[in-house]
């Protein structure tokens, strides 16, 4: 170790020992945008890599109002009750639309927040989905290395982030609620395509019957979809985070999925594909980021105005922007 | 005009006069990948721009077997019968999966192929969706400048191309057929989200009742979707390309959509947004293309192997690839 270099061994050891202070410090390093910190977190991740891969990686999505936080609180408590150690993360790039980060405070998961078998990390800040996704994915790996048996990643099912979350987990759960239609509006159809299971939440009290009907409706909808896997057809179930009805069933489904996908070799295959997709994703994002931080971005901004004003065609404008790259070979 | 420069006036005049030979030559120029031809077609397009924008831009998608060609043949014949001049194009990047271009020969549209009010152009060749889409979009503009009143763009609803087609048309029609499930499997749910209308095709003979049931099923599915426009809810209808039942109704729907979207200002807004999206799309594609033709692509290929073998993490691999760009400022 040359002078000035950071000693990363305490981070690595701290994570492997599940020392919460070092775990938090490591994640902070991952979330940092300083080049030196990024280099350090890369080295830490490489060292932790052999200790990752064992957790149940569960993605959870649903519209605002679907009861995601309450579900994670109840389901996470069920898991810890069965001896699981549970980490909860979130992917949610801050945007003017959503008004910032979900899981911003832990007060929405009171029980889980003080549960010693649980670890809740609020959504990292960041403007681009790519940046937030990278941090969350790497935090998931760190939590795995720290010995957490289940990692739940929460996201809102309204944009592109649910696709990104689906691409980093083994099991993708879509939370819905029964309703006359208005509550369900806004959920993108494509989200259903990603689902390994759909749970109609808030199936309690007066709502039980309506939840059952919604369950039937979504089962019908699934018949129009082509199955993602030959060894798995996504079940549609009902549950209540209040009465905890149906939560045991969801755990059984997740474990059944794990067993079947492992036996068929699909889990290994899926994770390998996710790794390659992840590499391509980061390269694509990185290339675009490099480009948009170059002077060509100003040319694009100007050209955009000209196109809006109808002065030039998009084709001519694009040619003008791309001319900036000409001769920029390696 | 300096020596050696191509005189583009015959192209421009030829297109505006709807001289079929010059129209075909102009499209061939657009489809060429030679830089000089690309520059020429840009200049022609800029000159034609003021004459574009009047046509009904109709995108048509559906799975193989949904009867797209027969529908376009029948619907196109209906349009020409009402005095419309109709151009038919296709977006379909050749891939080993689809086995090449749809609309590859005109024999599948026998009547329309010899109809003097119709113009059929097979799908341009090309490996990337971006390249094929660019050519098709520009060909659409040329056809508009040539005075065609309706441009139909066909695509298969299985990949990303339907999203691309939806982003270049005013009205996106999804063709379906009634069936026990198997025929409908494979259609991506997201495609429905793009639809301005869904037509259950082949509603003739023994199939009428089943088509009606499928219509009802899709109407229910639409209730789960948020409306794209406040002034338009996508209707679900049945039709037959054989008996021509329902085709008149589809034309009425398209004209009604045009009227409402024009009145609300949404058509203008949509097209302006499409232009800006189009510029961004082409820049994004161009930047990626530039990158993948650089030596960095080799570094990516090697890194991909290392990730597959589990030797390095995707993050480290991405950093290695992106290092190639370091210091490559303008």
CATH number of the domain that B56 lies in? Answer: 3.40.50.300
> Over 50: is that where the pLDDT of B101 sits?
no
**Does residue A46 sit in the same domain as residue A136?**
no
**Does residue B173 sit in the same domain as residue B250?**
yes
Mean pLDDT in residue range B136-161? 89
Question: Which pLDDT score, from 0 to 100, does residue A97 have?
Answer: 38
**Does residue B57 sit in the same domain as residue B47?**
no
**Does residue B26 sit in the same domain as residue B94?**
no
Q: Is A310 helix (H, G, I), strand (E, B) or coil?
A: coil
CB within 8 Å: A221 and B224: yes
**Does residue A129 sit in the same domain as residue A240?**
yes
CB within 8 Å: A322 and B190: no
CB within 8 Å: A319 and B49: no
CB within 8 Å: A49 and B221: no
pTM, 2 dp:
0.64
A38 exposed, middle or buried (CB, 10 Å; 0-12, 13-18, 19+)? middle
A214 → chain B, closest CA residue:
B224
Question: Which pLDDT score, from 0 to 100, does residue A312 have?
Answer: 83
B295 → chain A, closest CA residue:
A330
CB within 8 Å: B42 and A303: no
* Percent of residues, chain B, with pLDDT higher than 90: 51
> Over 80: is that where the pLDDT of A282 sits?
yes
**Does residue B18 sit in the same domain as residue B33?**
yes
A219 within some domain:
yes
Strands A150-156 and A171-177, bridge-based pairing:
unpaired
**Does residue A26 sit in the same domain as residue A162?**
no
Band (A288; pLDDT cuts 50, 70, 90): confident
> Over 60: is that where the pLDDT of A152 sits?
yes
Mean pLDDT in residue range B182-211? 78
**Does residue A101 sit in the same domain as residue A60?**
yes
Mean pLDDT in residue range B117-142? 85
B323 within some domain:
no
Cβ-Cβ pairs closer than 8 A, A with B, add up to 168
**Does residue A60 sit in the same domain as residue A43?**
no
B301 → chain A, closest CA residue:
A280
B209 within some domain:
yes
Lowest mean pLDDT among B98-102, B106-110, B116-120, B242-246: B98-102
Q: Give the tens place of pLDDT for each residue, A153-182.
A: 998 766 678 888 999 999 999 998 886 443
Report how many domains make up chain A: 2
**Does residue B106 sit in the same domain as residue B169?**
yes
**Does residue A229 sit in the same domain as residue A138?**
yes
Range B62-85 burial, b when 16+ CB lie within 10 A, else e: bbeebbbbbbbbbbbbbbbeeebb
Question: Which pLDDT score, from 0 to 100, does residue B316 have?
Answer: 86
**Does residue A143 sit in the same domain as residue A184?**
yes
Band (B140; pLDDT cuts 50, 70, 90): very high
B301 within some domain:
no
Mean pLDDT in residue range A62-74? 87
CB within 8 Å: A308 and B275: yes
Question: What is the rounded CA–CA span in Å between residue B7 and residue A99?
Answer: 55
Domain's final residue, options B264, B297, B316: B264
B290 within some domain:
no
Q: How far is B106 from chain A (nearest CA, A)?
A: 29
Q: How far is B131 from chain A (nearest CA, A)?
A: 12
Domain's final residue, options B224, B239, B264: B264
A229 within some domain:
yes
Band (A129; pLDDT cuts 50, 70, 90): confident
Question: What is the rounded CA–CA span in Å between residue A223 and residue A233?
Answer: 10
Domain's final residue, options B264, B295, B315: B264
* Percent of residues, chain A, with pLDDT higher than 70: 86
Question: Which pLDDT score, from 0 to 100, does residue A225 have?
Answer: 64
Range B89-104 burial, b when 16+ CB lie within 10 A, else e: bbbbbbeeeeeebbbe
> Over 50: is that where the pLDDT of A185 sits?
no
Question: Which pLDDT score, from 0 to 100, does residue A98 have?
Answer: 40
A187, two tokens: 């959920």
Question: Which pLDDT score, from 0 to 100, does residue A182 have?
Answer: 37
Question: What is the rounded CA–CA span in Å between residue A93 and residue A156?
Answer: 10
B197 exposed, middle or buried (CB, 10 Å; 0-12, 13-18, 19+)? buried
Domain carrying residue A100: 52-264
Lowest mean pLDDT among A244-258, B10-24, B59-73: B59-73
Q: Give the tens place of pLDDT for each residue, A69-109.
A: 899 999 999 999 999 999 999 887 654 334 344 554 456 78
A56 within some domain:
yes
Lowest mean pLDDT among B17-31, B48-62, B73-87, B122-136: B122-136
Band (B145; pLDDT cuts 50, 70, 90): very high
Q: Is B174 helix (H, G, I), strand (E, B) or coil?
A: strand
Which stretches of chain B are DSSP H helices? 9-16, 20-31, 35-48, 68-81, 110-113, 129-145, 161-166, 189-194, 208-222, 247-263, 266-292, 296-308, 314-322
What CATH number should be reported for the domain holding residue A25?
Answer: 1.20.5.170
Question: Which pLDDT score, from 0 to 100, does residue A161 have?
Answer: 80
Q: Give the tens place of pLDDT for each residue, B25-38.
A: 999 999 998 889 98
């Amino acid at each position: 170790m040359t002078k000035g270099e950071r000693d990363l061994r305490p981070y690595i050891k701290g994570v492997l020992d599940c020392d919460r202070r070092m775990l938090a410090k490591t994640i902070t390093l991952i979330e940092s945008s300083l080049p030196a910190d990024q280099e350090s977190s890369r080295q830490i991740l490489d060292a932790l890599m052999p200790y990752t891969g064992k957790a149940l990686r569960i993605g959870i999505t649903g519209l605002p109002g679907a009861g995601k936080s309450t579900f994670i609180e109840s389901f996470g408590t069920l898991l810890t009750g069965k001896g699981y150690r549970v980490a909860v993360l979130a992917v949610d790039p801050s945007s003017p639309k959503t008004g910032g980060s979900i899981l911003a405070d832990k007060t929405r998961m009171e029980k889980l927040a003080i549960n010693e078998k649980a670890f809740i990390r609020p959504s990292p800040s960041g403007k681009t989905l790519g940046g937030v996704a990278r941090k969350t994915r790497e935090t998931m790996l760190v939590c795995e290395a720290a010995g957490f048996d289940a990692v739940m990643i929460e996201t809102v099912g309204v944009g592109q982030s649910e696709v990104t979350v689906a691409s980093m987990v083994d099991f993708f759960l879509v939370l819905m609620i029964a309703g006359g239609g208005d509550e369900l509006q806004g959920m993108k159809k494509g989200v259903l395509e990603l689902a390994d299971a759909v749970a109609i939440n808030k199936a309690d009290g007066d709502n039980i019957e309506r939840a059952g009907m919604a369950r039937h409706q979504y089962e019908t909808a699934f018949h129009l979809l082509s199955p993602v896997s030959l060894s798995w057809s996504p079940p549609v179930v009902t549950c209540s985070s209040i009465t905890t009805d149906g939560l045991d069933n969801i755990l059984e489904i997740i474990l059944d999925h794990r067993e079947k996908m492992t036996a068929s070799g699909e889990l290994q295959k899926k994770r390998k594909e996710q790794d390659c997709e992840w590499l391509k994703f980061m390269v694509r994002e990185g290339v675009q980021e490099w480009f948009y931080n170059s002077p060509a971005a100003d040319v694009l901004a100007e050209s955009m105005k000209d196109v809006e004003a109808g002065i030039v065609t998009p084709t001519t404008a694009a040619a003008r922007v791309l001319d900036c790259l000409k001769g920029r070979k390696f």
